[in-house]
Structure 1
Amino acid sequence: MTTASLSALADTLPERFGDLYEAARKEGQVVFYTSYRQETSTALLDYWSKNFPGVKLNIVQKQTLDLISTIEAEKAAGRTNPDLVFINQRSILEDWVQRGFITPYKVRDFDQIPERFKQKDGNYYVVSAFILSAAYNPKVFPDPSVLPRRITDFLDPKWKGRLVFSDPKSASSQLTWFQALLSKGVIDWDTIAGLAKQDMLFTRGNAESVRLLVAGERDLSPLISSQNVLSARERGQSIKLYVLDEGAVVQETFISIFKGGPNPEAAKLLTAVLNSPEGQELTAASGAYWPTHPSASPPAGLPRLQDIKTIWHDEDVGGEASVKFLDQFDEVFDRE
Structure 2
Amino acid sequence: MGLKSKWIMMLVILLVVGTITGCMTSTSGGEQARKDGLEEKVVVYSPHGKDILQDFEKQFEKEYPHVDVEWLDIGSQEILDRVRSEKANPQADLWWGAPSVMFEQARDEGLLQPYHPGYADSLPKEFRASDWSWTGTSQTPEVIMYNTREVPEGEVPRDWDDLLDPKWKDRIIIRYPLASGTMRTVFSALIYRDYKETKRPDQGYEWLKKLDANTKEYSANPEMMYSKVARGEGALTIWNMPDTVMLKETKNYPFDFVIPESGTPVLTEGIALVKGGKHPKAAKAFYEFVNSKQAMKHLAKTYYRIPTRNDIQGLPAWIAETRIKPMDLDWGFLQEKENEWMDHWDQKIKNKAKQKEE
TM-score normalised by length of structure 1: 0.83
SS of the residue aligned with 1:282?
helix
When Rg is computed on C-alpha atoms for both structures, the one with the higher figure is 2
Matched-pair contact (CA < 8 Å) for 1:298–1:304: no
> Residue in 2 aligned with 1:68?
80
User: Is residue 2:250 matched to residue 1:250?
Assistant: no
Q: What RMSD, in angstroms, separates the aligned Cα atoms of the two structures?
A: 2.7
* Structure 1 range deviating more: 211-220 or 83-92: 83-92
290 and 225 in structure 1: CA distance in 2 versus 1, 3 angstrom threshold: same
**Matches of 1:49 and 1:285 in 2, distance apart?**
21
User: Is residue 2:190 matched to residue 1:145?
Assistant: no
2:190 maps to which of 181, 184, 207: 181
**Matches of 1:23 and 1:133 in 2, distance apart?**
47
The aligned amino acid for 2:148 is P
User: Is residue 2:120 matched to residue 1:110?
Assistant: yes
| CA offset digits 1:185-210 (Å, max 9, x no partner) | 28722222222332532212333222
199 and 70 in structure 1: CA distance in 2 versus 1, 3 angstrom threshold: closer
Matched-pair contact (CA < 8 Å) for 1:210–1:239: no
1:133 maps to which of 139, 143, 147: 143
- By how many angstroms is 1:215 displaced? 0.5
Larger RCO (CA under 8 A, 6+ residues apart): 1
The aligned amino acid for 1:251 is L
231 and 298 in structure 1: CA distance in 2 versus 1, 3 angstrom threshold: farther
SS of the residue aligned with 1:60?
strand
Matched-pair contact (CA < 8 Å) for 2:146–2:235: yes
| CA offset digits 1:201-226 (Å, max 9, x no partner) | 221233322211211111222x1222
SS of the residue aligned with 1:169?
helix
Count of residues paired in the alignment: 312
Matched-pair contact (CA < 8 Å) for 2:60–2:286: no
The aligned amino acid for 2:348 is E
> Residue in 2 aligned with 1:9?
none
Matched-pair contact (CA < 8 Å) for 2:105–2:335: no
Percent of aligned pairs sharing the same letter:
19
User: Is residue 2:176 matched to residue 1:167?
Assistant: yes
- Superposed, 1:10-25 pairs within 5 Å as 25=37
**Matches of 1:159 and 1:237 in 2, distance apart?**
20
User: Is residue 2:72 matched to residue 1:44?
Assistant: no
- Superposed, 1:181-200 pairs within 5 Å as 181-185=190-194, 188-200=204-216
Matched-pair contact (CA < 8 Å) for 2:99–2:182: no
**Matches of 1:147 and 1:265 in 2, distance apart?**
49
User: Is residue 2:243 matched to residue 1:228?
Assistant: yes
**Matches of 1:326 and 1:246 in 2, distance apart?**
26
The aligned amino acid for 1:273 is F
Unaligned runs of 5+ in 2: 1-32, 196-202
SS of the residue aligned with 1:184?
helix
The aligned amino acid for 2:71 is I
**Matches of 1:305 and 1:96 in 2, distance apart?**
34
Matched-pair contact (CA < 8 Å) for 1:102–1:123: yes
> Residue in 2 aligned with 1:35?
47
63 and 82 in structure 1: CA distance in 2 versus 1, 3 angstrom threshold: same
- By how many angstroms is 1:124 displaced? 0.9
> Residue in 1 aligned with 2:281?
265
298 and 137 in structure 1: CA distance in 2 versus 1, 3 angstrom threshold: farther
- By how many angstroms is 1:86 displaced? 1.6
> Residue in 1 aligned with 2:338?
321
User: Is residue 2:219 matched to residue 1:203?
Assistant: yes
Unaligned runs of 5+ in 1: 1-20
> Residue in 2 aligned with 1:157?
166
- By how many angstroms is 1:275 displaced? 2.5
The aligned amino acid for 1:326 is D
**Matches of 1:98 and 1:257 in 2, distance apart?**
14
SS of the residue aligned with 1:254?
strand
